Structure 1
Amino acid sequence: MRAFRRVGDHLEAELEEFEVALLASLVEQLQDILGGPDSGQPPAGLDAFERLAAASATQVELDHDDPLIERLFPAAYTDERDRDFRRFTEDDARRTRLDEASVVLSDLAATADGAEPLRLADDDFEAWVKTINALRLSLSVRLGITDADSLDALQGLSARDPRTHILDIYDWLGFVLESLLDASA
């Protein structure tokens, strides 16, 4: 990947075909963990009351026993108030993450599998930053990265350890995120 750079009114980067496929796959996996891009969406053509009723009936329950879900949707309180907080906010937060992931997938699709540069409109910047960050958080949970020491411990993995490939993707996503932030400054 060539780092993001400002080109006129948008950010631009060049990705190889495998990088587009890898990033799209990771984003799609994130969407699956969050209940899929279309889950929890009320059908079109409903009036306001019907949409409200349908939305409450189609809420997706996230598995809070999964440490990944806890990392992406941390507890706001350490007591019974957290259940109410989640009840009133979590579905909107989940849908927002899914919408942001859809923006990333749409931008990736526009590259024609890397044949064209990746172009991000300024309006897409936040969706990209949040989605890439969510992917890094997801991999950090699966790798057991909790602090600098746990990350340093992974640096000494054997090349035969399958976690080395996940760590490489984690590092690459860090480069993508840093490049994106640097180009926007």
Structure 2
Amino acid sequence: MSRFARSRGKIQLHLDSTEFEVFSHSVNELLDLLDDGSEAEPLDEDDPFAAWEASFGAEPGIEDDFDEDERDPVMQRLFPRAYPDDPEAASDFARFTDASQRQDKVTAACMVLDDLDELRGGTVRIRDDHVDAWLKTLNNLRLVLSVMLGISDEISASEAAERPEEDPRSWLFTYYGWLGWMLESLLEAVMAPE
């Protein structure tokens, strides 16, 4: 099974062709999911006005009438509401933070894809400044799969694990477990002594 490892001060990951195809495809699918239809340019961190404008997120009033029960369950998991018992405060908070949170997830996934584009001999070398992007993207993929599998706690995770092989979602649980393994091995590689 693939795992991250530290070698000569760099974190590396070896992927076989199937793992590479499935993983890169799922990161691209995550990007499609996060695409809100806007053609926003990446933020220029040196432009304080661009950052200020992006901090406003959606236009005022767009989410004010938004029924929490109508939100896509995947988006609910990726962008949980800060104040679940106060719809008005939750709407205000989302209006000011959702755009930057979405952009952060998109940027992280793009960094992962950039690293995957550099695959050589089945090995991906991950720059130190990309490790956080890998952690975020692996976690975001697990969040998406947890919704698809109906996993919300340990009991539902156990039930998902017990699905028969003929259940079309059984392979999703295997992939969900693989992503968890990858997260764990990346954290171990990060913590390993140089």
Q: Same fold by TM-score, threshold 0.5 exceeded?
A: yes
The ranges of structure 1 where at least 4 consecutive aligned residues each deviate by more than 3 angstroms after the TM superposition are: 42-45, 48-64
Whole-Å separation in 1 of the counterparts to 2:77 and 2:111: 22
Aligned pair 1:100/2:108, yes or no?
Answer: yes
Whole-Å separation in 2 of the counterparts to 1:26 and 1:103: 14
Q: Deviations along 1:25-84, whole A, 9 cap, x unmatched? A: 111111111116x94423899xx5995798589969899611110111111112111111
Q: 2:77 aligns with which of 63, 66, 71?
A: 71
Between the two proteins, the alignment pairs up a number of residues equal to 181
1:82–1:52 Cα change, 3 Å: same
User: Unpaired segments of 5 or more residues in structure 2?
Assistant: none
Q: 1:161 aligns with which of 141, 164, 167?
A: 167
Per the alignment, residue 6 of structure 2 pairs with 6
Aligned pair 1:124/2:123, yes or no?
Answer: no
Report percent identity of matched pairs. 37
1:161–1:35 Cα change, 3 Å: same
Whether the 8 Å contact between 1:24 and 1:108 is mirrored in structure 2 is yes
Task: Tell me the CA shift for residue 118 of structure 1.
Answer: 0.9
User: Unpaired segments of 5 or more residues in structure 1?
Assistant: none
Correspondence list, 1:106-145, <5 A: 106-112=114-120, 115-145=121-151
Q: What is the SS of the residue equivalent to 1:2? A: coil
Whether the 8 Å contact between 2:150 and 2:160 is mirrored in structure 1 is no
1:13–1:54 Cα change, 3 Å: same
Whole-Å separation in 2 of the counterparts to 1:109 and 1:43: 20
Whole-Å separation in 2 of the counterparts to 1:25 and 1:116: 16
Whole-Å separation in 1 of the counterparts to 2:184 and 2:42: 38
Q: What is the SS of the residue equivalent to 2:4? A: strand
Q: Using structure 2 for the length normalisation, give the TM-score.
A: 0.81
Whether the 8 Å contact between 1:9 and 1:122 is mirrored in structure 2 is no
- Letter in structure 1 aligned against 2:40: Q
